[in-house]
Amino acid sequence: MLERGQILESVAIEELGAEGKCVSRYNNIVIFSERTVPGDIVDLKVTHFKKKKFGEAKIDKIIKASEHRVEPRCQHFGLCGGCKLQHIDYETQLHFKQKQVKDNLERLGKIEIPEIKSIVGSTTIYEYRNKLDFTFSNKRWLLEEEMSLEHDTLYGLGFHLPGKFDRVIDIQKCHLQPEPSNSIRLEVKAYALQYGLTFYNVRAHEGFLRNLIIRTTNTKEVMVLIQFGEDKKKEIEGLLSHLIATFPQITTLVYFINTKKNDTYSDLDVHVFHGPGFIQEEMEGLTFRVGPKSFYQTNSDQAYELYKITRDFAGLTGNEVVYDLYTGTGTIANFIAKKAKQVIGIEYVADAIEDAKINSKINNIDNTLFYAGDMKDVLNKEFIAQHQRPDVIITDPPRAGMHEDVIKTLIFIGAPKIVYVSCNPATQARDLAMLDLDYEVTLIQPVDMFPHTAHVENVVLLTKRAVRKVAPEPIAEAS
């Protein structure tokens, strides 16, 4: 039995588990700990426990450091929850991400799988993101050594402290995005303090500055987006004019007026202060327009690797009809279009579908069709009858995976190939188990999109079985 505050001596850290926590065992009780490394010998201090099942602990003392332990680059490591694994060498991170995929498919999916291809690591493990979202707060998180000091202001601009919706870590330097990201963020804060602009109070729902988003592209364009909690024209124009004068690298500058109680801006009007209102990414000669509300994979270089794998798994010859489910802004659809007869994309977000159509138009792609709506409602018998049955289905759902009705529809369609792109191998495994009656997993390729995090992408090729194990259930008629 564990007790809170108990010191567990000379514990051997065994492996990296879910959510970036390492796993060890103490008297047959599983212990999860952060900031430990497989191969460490440590004293652990118990922080939480659940009877005799498992406990959580933090490092009290490192007895012997693992050979896989490295010095974190970021000064905010251990407080900021963004890069929890940067104290572990990158090869070890990749090893455990590969293992995570295998464990999920075998233990959760309980399906027969072929040998998994070696994970595709990121050539750049810092400054790889093209988008960061920062929050303004009137009550920043104070470090322990700051508690006894007097402060002129508690204003902070940075990331939310894990588990604290109303506390923000004031970030001095983030290693996730290339310049001018850090310089812009620091200048916005300095200007705001100089001119007395208020930072948002999330509890009282008041304050002028709410959010700052910086987007960069592989074409060296920069978008800055600011959410204001109050419509103060003079103050808005003052700050934005200062940014344009200070950073000529900013190619487009937009803002939102958000007086709601949440930070979502998909339903808000975009105000373009400078530039065209969008930025552009390039991939294999294609141009992808990224607007303020557009989704684009946040690691551009690895997105290219992911899409090439997806295209290779699809095995296109130019004669295939492809359904691209959860198409987003049509990046995959447009990327593979020149290798297909026709690509039909479906996406829930109507604005994303408009972006997809624009991206087809600016690239002179005329063999794509895009439809907006809930996947389980759009993809029905009438839709399939209206369009040619697909030879290949590509599906790239959100972390929650696919709705059961969508999986039933895929079985009904019976495409010879399904390429399943996932950002969550656990829900992918669940969905593959449901498809296993009719489809065989023939290729598996993990891809690391986010170094120093526990996240891993996985691409799976499913081929239709010659003989079905069980006849599929009929899908409901469209209402």
Active site residues: 423
Among the listed residues 78, 357, 124, 349, the one whose alpha carbon sits nearest the alpha carbon of residue 218: 124
Tell me the C-alpha to C-alpha distance, in Å, between residue 129 and each of 95, 216, 218, 281, 298.
Answer: 22, 8, 11, 13, 5
Q: Which two tokens stand for residue 386?
A: 């209206």
Between CA 392 and CA 459 the distance in angstroms is 14
- Find out whether 69 and 87 touch, Cβ atoms under 8 Å: yes
Place of tokens 């598996």: 444
11's enclosing H/E stretch is: strand 7-12
Tell me the C-alpha to C-alpha distance, in Å, between residue 389 and each of 152, 337, 413, 419.
Answer: 66, 17, 7, 16
Amino acid 133 reads D
- C-alpha dihedral over 329, 101, 126, 226, to 10 degrees? 40
Between CA 322 and CA 368 the distance in angstroms is 9
